[in-house]
Amino acid sequence: MKGRPRLNTAPSELILVPLLDMVSLLVQVLLLNVQFGAYAELPATSVGGAGTASTEALALTIDVEARGFAVRWNEQTGARAELLPCREPCQAVADFPFDTLSALLGALKDQHPSERGAVVRPVADLPFAIIARTMDAARASGGRVLFPDLGLGGGP
Amino acid sequence: MPRRRKGRRRLHTETELLLAAMVDMMVNVLLFLLTLYGAGPGADLGEFELAEARAQEPITGDVHLTITPLLVAVDGSPVLRLDTRDSRLRLPEEDAAFDELASRLDTRRSEAEEAPPLAVEIDRRVPWSVVRPLLDLAAGAGFTDLRFTVASVGEGETPNRLGGTD
């Protein structure tokens, strides 16, 4: 005598092997597309117009020019300027004298420890890597905070 | 009263690996790691290389302006394509090309009473002649507090590790 076929009432089992395969594939795809690295930010205030300068007594400005850095500041005796020339062709970070710039800014910080502001003025059409590195050098060097309140822009 | 037979209890020798919990944990760990380290700025906008610096401050900007060697994007959405003819990067000459960018920045600016910091992600190779007008446009929309995103290389490392190509 035929009847209804018996339903299999055994506890169902989740087949995890294909799921694990899919997850490991997903992991590989995601890892291939990910950019690993540490990111940070360089804060600056946008300043505009020609001749914009720091409002502080030191009035420190760092012009990033095609021939190097032109650093200008005020002293009691009057305005001072120093040109830190770059190495030809002056198109890469390695061509610019960041160590000399850091040393000069460190000496200025020694003389004016309460000053915090500076303006970075990119004058030449240089890659952003050089501008960013200049801002970085102006803010701090060797773990020492120099002029963290940066303005960016201006210039002729 | 019947006495119960004493003897060694049988050990249950069948072990079962609970994979579901392990998979759950693995997915959670993966998501955590990807959130922490992955999906860098501009990751979905094509080839992109940030400038390097020794800065350590965490990224805080709310609105993101990204400038790659191909395009300009606001919050990850491309709004402007750069002119790459003659292998030199330039902004497009037509004024209309900037309308979408200005409109997007205005919209984002109007969402808050005070202008939030603008996280600016710029490829290290993009020249200042391209960057400056875009920053001026952002300043015109009210974004003057800029936070430039850089690849942090730490104090002991040389920022220019990629050599003189930039």
Q: What is the ipTM of this complex?
A: 0.74
Instruction: Please give the Cα distance from B33 to B29 (Å, whole number).
Output: 6
Residues of B in contact with A41 (CB under 8 A): 55, 57-61, 119, 147-150
Residue B150 · residue B55 · CB < 8 Å: yes
| Nearest 10 degrees: Cα torsion B126, B132, B138, B140 | -170
Residue A22 · residue B30 · CB < 8 Å: no
Write the pLDDT tens digit of every residue in B102-147: 999 999 999 888 888 999 999 999 999 999 999 999 999 999 999 9
> pLDDT category, B20, cuts 50, 70, 90?
confident
Indicate yes or no: CB of B164 within 8 angstroms of CB of A143. no
Pairing of strands B77-81, B71-74: antiparallel
Indicate yes or no: CB of A41 within 8 angstroms of CB of B138. no
Q: Minimal Cα distance from A142: which residue of B?
A: B155
Nearest CA to B104 out of B129, B76, B83, B71 is that of B76
Query: Residue A133 is encoded by which pair of tokens?
Result: 């590195």
Residues of B in contact with A49 (CB under 8 A): none
Q: Which of B30, B54, B90 to mutate to test the interface with A (most CBs of A within 10 A)?
A: B54
CB < 8 Å from B in window 45-104 of A = 45-46, 48, 91-95
User: Cα dist. B47→B40, B50, B67, B73, B164 in Å?
Assistant: 12, 10, 11, 14, 19
| Nearest 10 degrees: Cα torsion A83, A87, A89, A94 | -110
> pLDDT category, B33, cuts 50, 70, 90?
confident
Centroid of chain to Cα B163: 24
pTM of the model: 0.74
Residues 6+ apart with CB under 8 A from B126: A127, A128, B67, B68, B69, B89
Centroid of chain to Cα A108: 23
Minimal Cβ distance to B38: which of A36, A43, A92 = A36
Indicate the helix (H) or strand (E) that contains B106: helix B99-110
Query: Residue A117 is encoded by which pair of tokens?
Result: 């502001």
Nearest CA to A100 out of A80, A127, A77, A71 is that of A71
> What is the pLDDT, as a whole number, of residue B72?
92
> What is the pLDDT, as a whole number, of residue B85?
83
Minimal Cβ distance to B166: which of A30, A36, A129 = A129
> What is the pLDDT, as a whole number, of residue B41?
58
